[in-house]
Amino acid sequence: MNNHFQGQSLLKEIDFTPAELTYLIDFASHLKALKAQHIPHSYLQGKNIALLFEKTSTRTRSAFTVAANDLGAHPEFLGQHDIQFGTKESVADTAKVLGSMFDGIEFRGFSQQTVADLAKYSGVPVWNGLTDDWHPTQILADFLTLKEHFGYLKGLTLTYVGDGRNNMANSLLVAGSMLGINVHIGAPAALQPAAEIVALAQKYAANSGSTVLVTDDPKAAVAQADALYTDVWVSMGEDVDYGQRIKQLLPFQINTELLAATGKETTIVMHCLPALHDLKTQVGAELGAKYQMDAFEITDEVFNSPQSVVFEEAANRLPAIKAVMAATLGDLFIPDSLFE
């Protein structure tokens, strides 16, 4: 058996090569087609998967659960308040125990070090379902969505506007540059990506032939973009003044004016979700009343426009996560020669 990915963890995108990321995206597309045609793909028959969540989740939790079931595995949800982890037991001890019983572990939480330590001490593949730094299974789904829409990735321009320092900005900037996507970040100076993340992206971009642009000018950021992407203005676990964030990021809101400023009628609009596009949530209603706003990072009009692919992205979390689990744990035939 020669499976190039067997036993690997997905902790962050840069642990993989551009060819490996491309393989995972294309494998996700294949698994999506199998499911659509009701062709069984139970590559993880008899395996047990731990789903460890320090932060809340709808899409990631659902996708890991359904992917595990579709692959013939048994997923077990271990929420923050269900187990000893963090309060009475260290990461290393928890990892050793989980690794002795489960065949793979998903982790969503705060620290990148935690997910790295889980992999180090468990001895089984660990998949990052979001940390403060990276969101690798999200960008696999996003790039699958882009590829389905445009037919290719290399040479596309993706502009991310909003909080340029969060997990989504990091992942899109670095992984996009790895895959030859021109990545533009539009964010105020105080919320631009860390210098080492930009340097990393520039290094990859030089190899893939793409460009990196980081600017505080929203119009310059979105010019000629094939895809406009945004995320919540305050991420999970951040303790910041909402009023200040709103003031900083309002010029970067995706609305009809900013969308028109791409200069392309074919631009698609992306968001990892959940989104504050109206006031129909508890948080949206409270913030809307306090700051006299009816939407935050994206207007409802654009969110629900034909150019928006946000629910395609959400649906693609399933095949993307399934591809990662199957490739790293499925005893498949994926020869090393494909990546030489």
Binding site for ligand CP (CB under 6 A): 57-60, 130, 138, 272-274
Q: Is 112 in the site for ligand NVA (CB under 6 A)?
A: no
Residue among 42 and 112 whose Cβ is closer to ligand CP = 112
- Contacts of 300-304 with CB under 8 Å at 24 or more apart are 301/255, 301/256, 302/254, 302/255, 302/256, 302/259, 302/269, 302/277, 303/269, 303/271, 303/275, 303/277, 303/278, 304/277
Q: Is 308 helix (H, G, I), strand (E, B) or coil?
A: strand
The one among 168, 172, 173, 228 contacting ligand NVA by CB under 6 A: 168
Residue among 98 and 321 whose Cβ is closer to ligand CP = 321
The one among 65, 145, 166, 262 contacting ligand NVA by CB under 6 A: 166
Q: Residue with structure tokens 């790295």? A: 116
- Residue 224 makes CB contacts below 8 A (sequence gap 6+) with 157, 262, 263, 264
Q: Is 316 in the site for ligand NVA (CB under 6 A)?
A: no
Residue among 200 and 232 whose Cβ is closer to ligand CP = 232
Q: Residue with structure tokens 């809101």? A: 253
What is the rounded CA–CA span in Å between residue 86 and residue 205? 38
Residue among 232 and 276 whose Cβ is closer to ligand NVA = 232
Dihedral sign (CA 146, 150, 152, 157) = negative
Q: Give the length of the chain.
A: 340
The one among 140, 156, 272, 295 contacting ligand NVA by CB under 6 A: 272
Please report, to the nearest 10 degrees, the dihedral formed by the alpha carbons of residues 107, 109, 113, 116 taken in order.
10
Minimum CB separation from ligand NVA for residue 174, in Å?
15
What is the rounded CA–CA span in Å between residue 2 and residue 155? 33
- Select from 251, 254, 257, 247 the least CA-distant residue to 298: 254
Name the segment binding ligand NVA (CB under 6 A); options: 6-14, 20-28, 107-115, 232-240.
232-240
Question: Which does residue 58 touch among ligand CP, ligand NVA, none (CB within 5 to 8 A, set by kind)?
Answer: ligand CP
Q: Is 262 in the site for ligand NVA (CB under 6 A)?
A: no
Minimum CB separation from ligand CP for residue 92, in Å?
26
Residue among 121 and 134 whose Cβ is closer to ligand NVA = 134
Which amino acid appears at position 320 of this protein?
Answer: A
The one among 83, 213, 236, 293 contacting ligand NVA by CB under 6 A: 236
Per CB under 6 A, contacts with ligand NVA among 114-133 are: 130
Name the segment binding ligand NVA (CB under 6 A); options: 162-170, 254-262, 284-292, 332-340.
162-170
Minimum CB separation from ligand CP for residue 143, in Å?
14
First and final C-alpha spacing in the chain: 18
Active site residues: 108, 135, 138, 231, 272, 317
Q: Is 232 in the site for ligand NVA (CB under 6 A)?
A: yes
Alpha-carbon Rg of the chain, whole angstroms? Answer: 20
Minimum CB separation from ligand CP for residue 54, in Å?
12
Q: Is 231 in the site for ligand NVA (CB under 6 A)?
A: yes
Minimum CB separation from ligand CP for residue 228, in Å?
17
What is the rounded CA–CA span in Å between residue 330 and residue 125? 11
Residue among 130 and 183 whose Cβ is closer to ligand NVA = 130
274 prior amide bond cis, ω within 30: yes
Strand-pairing partners, residue 215, are 186
Question: Which does residue 166 touch among ligand NVA, ligand CP, none (CB within 5 to 8 A, set by kind)?
Answer: ligand NVA
**Cα atoms in the Cβ-side hemisphere of radius 13 Å centred on 47:** 26
Residue numbers at the binding site for ligand NVA (CB under 6 A): 130, 166-168, 231-232, 235-236, 272
